Structure 1
Amino acid sequence: DCGGGYIKLFPADLDQEAIHGESEYYLMFGPDICGYSTKKVHVIINYKGKNHLIRKDIKCKDDELTHLYTLIIKPDQTYEVKIDNAKVESGNLENDWNLLPVKKIKDPKVTKPEDWDDRETIDDVDDKMPEDWDTPENIPDPDAKKPEDWDEEMDGEWEPPVIPNPEYKGEWKPKQIKNPSYKGSWVHPEIDNPEYAPDTNIYRFPNIGVIGLDLWQVKSGTIFDNFLITDDEKYAEGLGSQTWGKTKEPEKKMKEKQDEEESKRIAEEAKKKDEADDEDDEEEEGDEEKKDEGGE
């Protein structure tokens, strides 16, 4: 099964009658589940007209229960992702998205010195290949015989098939010794990126006015409710506890009961099928006995 359910926050001047999948938004947030490989939370930020997906892999819940997803973005450019009121990821907007050019770049004026030796080991020049080492990988099959009907004028010169050489030792390589000229791995010096400029307003989305859902589902049954946009973390956490928090345990018990009933139903159907198969077998045995008696 594959399905993605994301909330999108749009600017207030969005033409809602003409909204479509490519309509520009501020934020996109929600779980994405597809088979066994994709089970993650998407957090996409629109920065200067381009959408940027978080670089971290945030695992989402993949059971059949209701879950509470929370995204917190703070004025100090940090963020937090919660699932069921528990933190699952956090970090810095600048570090975890490719929003700005990198702070440091490799110095284009510096190159690796030609005499820099970064080989940790080298061939031992005193090590020589043994005289009996140079054997071919394959040899003619000594047991092969030319077919009696082989006609060299028609078939050409006969050559025996080849077989793996039991004496073959592989490609010979001299043993390795420490390189006396080894200088270690060369590290390219870095400089400040002239294209980098800090932006302390990445977190700001001053014109939020529309909330929408972007859904890609191949299986029905997904329900969304209790959307909240606020600048009060405590209030959001409290509301989550009052809504999702009050229903999570009853829902879990209801799911356990449904699973138990489903297991019983499957077991009963299997039992009925086995009983029906046994009756069919008995009838077939009875028919066979009657045939045998009639034949006598």
Structure 2
Amino acid sequence: MRRVLALAACASATVYFEETFDSGIGERWQTSEWKDPMGAWVWTSGEWYTNEAKAKGMQASEDMRFHAISAKLDAPASTVDKELVVQFTVKHEKKDYAFCGGGYIKLLPGEVDPKAFGGDTPYAIMFGPDLCGYDISRIHVIFENKGENLLKSDEIKLDYSDKDEFTHLYTLHLKPDGSYEVFFDQKSKASGKLEDDWAFPSKEIKDPAISKPSDWVDTKRIPDPAAVKPEGYDDIPAEIPDPEAEQPEDWDAEEDGEWEPPMIDNPDYKGEWKAPMIDNPDYKGEWVHPMIPNADYAPDTYAKYPDLTTLGFELWTVNAGSIFDNILVTDDKAYADKMAADTWAIIKEGEKEAKDAWKKANKDDDDDDDADVDDDEEEEEEEELKDEL
């Protein structure tokens, strides 16, 4: 499904790209030949679902393979003086406690060769989940800036309950004022200013022409130079014979030697003498590096891309089975919410029951007991990993 101007839901929305895979992957999608061999993409609803037609998407179908595929936007998108909303769903159908795989989308500028599209192809935005077991579970948001790909300073963590095999919705909302918000299943996971949360050039920098003076004193307390160790202090031993010890009655001096009481810690021993600490009269406080305006500070340019032409998925999949669907690039968050209601909200209902029913229907009678044991063991391992985290 594609529309350049979407009038039905939101009259003012510009839709640069929309894909629900209603009738197949289609010619707009072109697979890459970046590696040999490449993993195959297939059109499927997966093994279990509640609404087969709505659940149909584009699946990375092979284990231990690079999967790369891209499509041209219906019209070039821009983040200059315009909002940008990137949204899609992912269903990691084969996910278990050992699952490892990415699920992120890339938006690329300019001319892109779809056959060569791969890990070395420059991109402007990368967004989506990165999952591996239960210790790596986050939402990536990466922006290109002057040839460097900037990761978010603080990771957007996914909760334990979010790391399952069901269909989830990911939404990135960029605004012209330099703010952003990331949603997971329409719940806000992170928001703020781009300049605060990525390593874009900051407003001020430390003055490179100034260094801390060599005579700067930042030691707050010092040993009292006037203190003198008390006379006889070093004569106090660390251990002394136990004054309460008594020689055993059966002690034989001729056979056992002269009896000596065992040693105990000396209660009067004070350890190595140290001068008491006092405030340093020369203390000047913590030195603060003077700041100056940063000549590279240009917040109006951060994540501002005038010519986004292509989107694609470029992934290394340890585990096959990830289904991508309901892909949207627009300038209207309300339109994205409407699309989510018409797609993801319908798909996600009853998925657990559908999965349980599929598993039950696909178990061989002879293997039921073994399968139940395997499920129990898997659940125990997942709980152990959860407890460790």
Unaligned runs of 5+ in 1: 137-164, 271-296
User: Aligned equivalents of 1:127 and 1:33: distance in 2?
Assistant: 63
- Aligned CA RMSD, in angstroms, stands at 3.2
The alpha-carbon distance between structure 1 residues 174 and 252, as it changes in their structure 2 partners (threshold 3 A), is: farther
* Conserved 8 A contact 1:127-1:175: no
| Aligned positions of 1:76-115 closer than 5 A | 76-100=177-201, 102-115=202-215
| 2:127 maps to 1:24 | no
The 3-state SS of whatever aligns with 1:122 is: strand
Greater CA drift, 120-129 or 234-243 = 120-129
Residue of structure 2 equivalent to 1:191: 292
> Identity of paired residues, percent?
45
User: Aligned equivalents of 2:213 and 2:144: distance in 1?
Assistant: 43
The 3-state SS of whatever aligns with 2:338 is: helix
Deviation digits for residues 74-132 of structure 1 (CA, Å, limit 9, x no counterpart): 111111110001110012222222233x3222234434345543222211331527223
Measure how far apart 1:8 and its partner are: 0.9
The alignment's TM-score, normalised by the length of structure 1, stands at: 0.69
In the alignment of these two chains, the number of paired residues is 239
The 3-state SS of whatever aligns with 1:229 is: strand
Residue of structure 1 equivalent to 2:335: 235
Residue of structure 2 equivalent to 1:289: none
Q: 1:13 aligns with which of 100, 111, 116?
A: 111
Residue of structure 2 equivalent to 1:218: 318
* Bigger share in helix: 1
- Of the two, which has the highest radius of gyration? 1
Q: What residue identity is the alignment partner of 2:292?
A: I
The alpha-carbon distance between structure 1 residues 26 and 115, as it changes in their structure 2 partners (threshold 3 A), is: closer
Which structure ranks higher in relative contact order (CA pairs < 8 Å, sequence separation ≥ 6)? 2
Q: 1:40 aligns with which of 138, 153, 157?
A: 138
The alignment's TM-score, normalised by the length of structure 2, stands at: 0.54
Residue of structure 2 equivalent to 1:131: 234
* Conserved 8 A contact 1:79-1:92: yes
Q: What residue identity is the alignment partner of 1:131?
A: D
Residue of structure 2 equivalent to 1:118: 218
Unaligned runs of 5+ in 2: 1-97, 240-263, 374-389
* Bigger share in strand: 2
The alpha-carbon distance between structure 1 residues 132 and 205, as it changes in their structure 2 partners (threshold 3 A), is: same
The 3-state SS of whatever aligns with 1:245 is: helix
User: Aligned equivalents of 2:136 and 2:278: distance in 1?
Assistant: 46
The 3-state SS of whatever aligns with 2:142 is: strand
* Conserved 8 A contact 1:43-1:54: yes
Measure how far apart 1:209 and its partner are: 2.3
Measure how far apart 1:173 and its partner are: 3.2
User: Aligned equivalents of 1:112 and 1:12: distance in 2?
Assistant: 47
